[in-house]
């Protein structure tokens, strides 16, 4: 979503913008061989992990943000952290961790303009990371669908000394 209402001192606050436009698609690429190694060569587990990644579910953060339920924002960020971890999307995982920690701190503090700005910035960063990794998730799923056996064989060959 484009607006993040609820930042102290403003009726509505746009998502913090360090970039004036949405970022161009990133060169971020998932490594299918790495994913197959992580999941013991089981292409079906890799497929399941990749299918859990749905950038559209980022919008689940809107309601808790708008209602200032920062503990819930932290819980959803925690879920994103796990999802990103499963697919080895390290930058997105770090962004989710930052949002999780800052949202929980804001929830515990009750009110803090500084923490609110940090949560908004972390939310923006997570959105950017998720948008950048999404095309790679799709292409990796496509790659996996073409020839999972070939990828399994390549993984086994790569892991031999």
**H or E element that contains 20:** none
Q: Tell me if 123 sits within 8 A of 61, measured CB to CB.
A: yes
What is the reported pLDDT for 151?
A: 53
**Cα–Cα distance, 137 to 126 (Å, whole number):** 16
**Segment-wise mean pLDDT, segments of 10 residues, the chain, 161 residues:** 35 39 55 90 91 85 92 95 90 95 92 91 93 90 75 57 62
At 46 the pLDDT is: 92
In the prediction, which pLDDT does 152 show?
A: 56
- d(C-alpha 84, C-alpha 93), whole Å: 5
Residue 5: phi, psi to the nearest 5?
Answer: -65, 155
pLDDT reported for residue 147: 62
- Its pTM stands at 0.72
């Amino acid at each position: 979503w484009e607006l993040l209402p609820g930042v102290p001192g403003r009726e509505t606050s746009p998502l913090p913008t360090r970039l004036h436009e949405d970022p161009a698609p990133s060169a971020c690429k998932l490594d299918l061989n790495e994913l197959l190694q992580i999941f013991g060569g089981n292409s079906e587990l890799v497929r399941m992990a990749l299918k859990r990644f749905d950038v559209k579910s980022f919008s689940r953060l809107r309601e808790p943000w708008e209602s200032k339920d920062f503990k819930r924002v932290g819980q959803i960020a925690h879920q994103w952290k796990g999802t990103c971890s499963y697919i080895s999307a390290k930058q997105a995982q770090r962004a989710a961790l930052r949002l999780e920690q800052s949202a929980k701190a804001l929830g515990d503090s009750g009110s803090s303009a500084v923490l609110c700005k940090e949560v908004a910035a972390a939310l923006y960063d997570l959105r950017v990371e998720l948008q950048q990794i999404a095309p790679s998730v799709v292409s990796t799923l496509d790659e996996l669908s073409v020839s999972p056996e070939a990828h399994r064989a390549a993984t086994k060959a790569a892991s031999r000394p």
